[in-house]
A = this chain, B = another copy of it.
């Protein structure tokens, strides 16, 4: 379930006018901006952008970018975009920054459904006039390239059929390919990049039953190069993306320092989808409420904004 609290009836025009008032003049009224935008769903936000543009001949996103700053600005910028536009932006930034593990690329290609991924790839075309595939390919090499390009490219089957025999045989193929770190990545790539997600989950379960160890654990035992890491992330996202996101949040707040980009990414991307479930997983794992953890690690408008998105009533 989502955490976002958005009123069913809102007036895009009134919202646009209130936002205009909040950004006009010397300094802007962050509280007012948060009060409106942290309580509007994707459709409503798009309507507000449109109304703002019609009324004031100005792009609301650009105006907010120039008025806000820091983590708060980045979070608001990501939030106000439509989900597919946002994922396209996140993928582009990950490639531009040369994020070595390509975590965001794996995440987008393995958490989203085949149809959702397609919409993101269309948004990427529109935004950057190139394909996500070609940008991933040009930034990587070798087996990591094969894996990542395969993950973003494939239009997986999205139906519910599971082939138990195939799960059995491909669990064995994966076992042979992973063990003794033998560098036989070709079959790992084929299976991870082309099979349907539901089929893969059956295969990973078979693997665990037959070989007495989770495939992700075996993979990390056998190697720690970028390929192993990316394959492990892909498997985690496919098996249970809520657990995966819990871990992303935990890692982002553990120890010294805070990974604000990761916190923002998860909260902004999932607030309208299943952040409530992720919060539950987080609480079960850490015995701390996610809101409390986030409140401890963040501050100011950024903190207020995130807590609102997480379902806090203000």
State the number of copies, please.
Answer: 2
State in angstroms the CA–CA spacing of A154 and B141 once bound together: 17
Tell me which residues from 117 to 146 in chain A have a Cβ below 8 Å from any Cβ of chain B. Answer: 118, 121-122, 125, 129-134, 137-138, 141-142, 145-146
Against B, the Cβ 8 Å flags (1 = close, 0 = not) of A144-173 are 011001100111111101000000000000
Minimal beta-carbon separation of A157 from chain B (angstroms): 4
Closest CB pairs A-B (n = 7): A153-B153, A134-B194, A131-B157, A133-B194, A137-B190, A137-B194, A133-B154
Tell me which residues from 3 to 30 in chain A have a Cβ below 8 Å from any Cβ of chain B. Answer: none
A141 touches B186 (CB 8 A): yes
Is A175 part of the contact surface with B, judged by Cβ < 8 Å?
no
Is A195 part of the contact surface with B, judged by Cβ < 8 Å?
yes
Secondary structure call for the A interface: helix
Sample 26 A-B pairs with CB under 8 A, ordered by A number. A118-B118, A118-B155, A125-B155, A125-B158, A129-B157, A129-B159, A129-B161, A130-B157, A130-B196, A131-B154, A131-B156, A131-B194, A131-B196, A132-B155, A133-B153, A133-B155, A133-B193, A134-B156, A134-B157, A134-B196, A138-B194, A142-B186, A149-B150, A153-B153, A153-B154, A155-B155
Against B, the Cβ 8 Å flags (1 = close, 0 = not) of A191-222 are 00111100000000000000000000000000
State in angstroms the CA–CA spacing of A158 and B118 once bound together: 14
Minimal beta-carbon separation of A166 from chain B (angstroms): 9
Cβ of A137: which chain B residues have Cβ within 8 Å of it? 190, 193-194
